[in-house]
Structure 1
Amino acid sequence: MTRSAVLVLLLCGCATPKGDAAMGNDDATAEGQRPMRKGDPEPVYEFEPGPMVTDTEGLRAWLEANRGKRLRLPVVIELGEVGHGFKRSRVGDVELRVTDLALGVPLSERIAQKCGRDARRCALWLEGRYGETPPLPDTLPQYEVVKVGELVDEKAALQAERAK
């Protein structure tokens, strides 16, 4: 009897007013609010141009104004000794700390694939979110990479981009 009462309470506590896609109610899916699941096709983003990466002050202000939004940046990464991570990463003259926690394959492996295992420097288009400044001692703002793009031609006129 006690087990039945506990089971009923658990089931009642799990019900939501709108229902749940896992429980057979597709209200969340119909509104487009369902979170991505493994195997879902990756959304395609359109990007609009931002500031030139040579405009350091304009780029800094634009990055701050777009915290948390999906951005595509031409990032130059200088690698330290093997096994010691990244020495420096920057967009133009703006330094930032890239993190690859959202990637399935580490960024260092993607760099090795695109620029070669012996490369000490690699410039790539990286999609991600410019975020909070981590706690001390690292004062550089973080850029959480969610997608690695193609190599960057550093001699071209480059602009930062924001997803529409």
Structure 2
Amino acid sequence: MSNLHEEAADRKRAVLKEVMDAALSGRPGPVTRHFAPGAVVRHRSNAGIIDAPWYDRMEGEFRLNGETEAKSHLEELMRRAAYISYEDRGIIVEDDQAASRCDWTRRDERNGSLIMGTTMYWFGFTSDLRIRSIETISSIHSVIPAETGRNTI
């Protein structure tokens, strides 16, 4: 790999780490500058399978026509999903695409249950190293109900 390709791959990794940390930490900062105008974001999950109302069904495809829409979208995602912890499991960059996986835990604000899951991310980049597309697939793999105050034996 040439130095130019290595530098571009390192820059893409840095952009993705910044965007993912912002979204998962709940502190957006100026990350929307990394989105190309007209960027497409697709969200899917298995939340409907287990009837998890906490996810608020932000599934589907969204076209972000500029930084203002990208910021609104990111803020809405963060409002609906506040994470207790998350662990980036690595970022792979290949040409104008990248992929990542993140394991996370969050608390359901409505009933206090702990929800654990994994999200896979696929990113597409423009030639000027901005994000042109994001596809996420989230999988909830554990739900631990909150204690209800009852004594159990």
- Do these two structures clear the TM 0.5 threshold for a shared fold by scoring above it? no
Q: Per residue, is there more strand in 1 or in 2?
A: 2
Q: TM-score range by the shorter chain?
A: under 0.3
